[in-house]
Amino acid sequence: MFSSLGLVALTLASAVLADDLAFSVSTADFKARFVQSGIVPEVIAALDPSVSFYASYRAADGHSELLVPGSSLTVAEAGGAPLEFSVENLSNATSVNSQTRFLIYLLDADAPDRSAPNARNLRHFLAGNYTLSSAMSAVLPTAQRLTVTQQTFFPFTPFTAPNPAPNTGVHRFIYALYTQPPNFNTVGFQSVGMELQTANWNLSRWRTQLGLGPAIGATFFSIDTGANGGQGVSANGSTFVGGGAGAGAGTGVPAAPGAAAPGVAASLSMAGLAGLAATLGVMAMF
């Protein structure tokens, strides 16, 4: 069940696992993990999330798992479209109401190669028109789902399965959530000149182009392709520790409503990890 977790996380998990439920991650912990992974400031200059933003995916054992910042996935696990997106504490974000729409992207910050990311950032998914659903996440019962209808789902970049080449190091894949400027409720991103090219996606230029504020939430996972930086070590030598997982299911991209297959899986408690980390002298960011 923990085949995709990092060694340190695996060791800690056996100590903190109390049951099969997924646990919330505080927004502050999301922020800390982006710094710990080196994504901030190497890929994104700054990240100040106001919500806890989650994706879920199908794990190798068939269970639906919660993606928490730092989860380590296999290529196969990352290959399916996310099952569900959800948020906690959305009311903490400014200028958000029940009519607000959201856009979500997924990118590879380390394409094609961690030590020479010449294609940074490589976009794997971009779609708008997500809204807050009254339905709760099947993965994390305290989180509310973000859903999009068939009538409004026009992905600018349809989901493309991450498939980094072997021996290109530990790739960091980032999901981010933004409030959508209202003009895009009726037109696509091409209306402001956004180009279809997915490689060398310049986020700061893109934000200006679309008139976006900063991301209100973000999460990430890694795929370790081996060599080139090696497992557990980021490109600049800082320690990288994998994250945990969760339980349940749902649909992030519109399939049949309610088509979610329930699943049961395990997760790590960030609070538990933090306590143990302090005790063991690892994961100092917590």
Ligand X SMILES: *[C@@H]1O[C@H](CO)[C@@H](O)[C@H](O)[C@H]1NC(C)=O
Neighbour order of strands in the sheet with 102-108: 64-67, 52-58, 84-88, 144-147, 122-136, 102-108, 170-179, 217-224, 71-72
The single-letter code of the amino acid at 166 is P
Residues 87-126 that bind ligand X (CB under 6 A): 88-89, 91-92
Out of 38, 82, 217, 229, point to the residue binding ligand X (CB under 6 A): 38
Tell me: does residue 150 bind ligand X (CB under 6 A). Answer: no
CB of 40 to ligand X, least distance (A): 8
Q: Which residues sit opposite 217 in a β-bridge?
A: 177
Stretch that binds ligand X, among 64-72, 150-158, 251-259, 273-281 (CB under 6 A): 150-158
Q: Which is nearer to ligand X, 56 or 59 (CB)?
A: 56
Q: Which is nearer to ligand X, 2 or 105 (CB)?
A: 105
Tell me: does residue 154 bind ligand X (CB under 6 A). Answer: yes
| Sequence-separated (6 or more) residues with CB below 8 Å from residue 58 | 64, 65, 77, 80, 83
Residues 2-21 that bind ligand X (CB under 6 A): none
Residues 72-91 that bind ligand X (CB under 6 A): 88-89, 91
CB of 203 to ligand X, least distance (A): 8
Give, in order, the Cα–Cα distances in Å from 158 to each of 36, 102, 198. 30, 16, 11
CB of 16 to ligand X, least distance (A): 19
Stretch that binds ligand X, among 159-167, 184-192, 215-223, 225-233 (CB under 6 A): 184-192
Secondary structure of residue 175 in the 3-state scheme: strand
Helices (H) and strands (E) in the chain, counts: 6, 9
Nearest to 193 by CA among 179, 219, 211: 211
CB of 2 to ligand X, least distance (A): 24
Residues 211-270 that bind ligand X (CB under 6 A): 236, 238
Angle at 51 between CA 45 and CA 56, to 5 degrees: 95
Cα–Cα distance measured from residue 134 to residue 144, given in angstroms and rounded to the nearest whole number: 7
Secondary structure of residue 37 in the 3-state scheme: coil
User: What number of chain residues touch ligand X (CB under 6 A)?
Assistant: 30
Ranked by CB distance to ligand X, the top (closest) residue is 128
Q: Write out the two tokens for 126.
A: 């971009």
Tell me: does residue 129 bind ligand X (CB under 6 A). Answer: yes
Q: Which is nearer to ligand X, 4 or 36 (CB)?
A: 36
Q: What share of the chain is helix, strand, coil (3-state, %, to 5)?
A: 20, 25, 55
Q: Which is nearer to ligand X, 3 or 142 (CB)?
A: 142
Q: Are 256 and 30 in contact (CB under 8 A)?
A: no
Secondary structure of residue 105 in the 3-state scheme: strand
CB of 237 to ligand X, least distance (A): 7
Q: Which residues bind to ligand X, rule: CB under 6 A?
A: 24, 26-27, 35-36, 38, 41-42, 52, 88-89, 91-92, 128-129, 142, 151-152, 154, 184-189, 202, 204-205, 236, 238
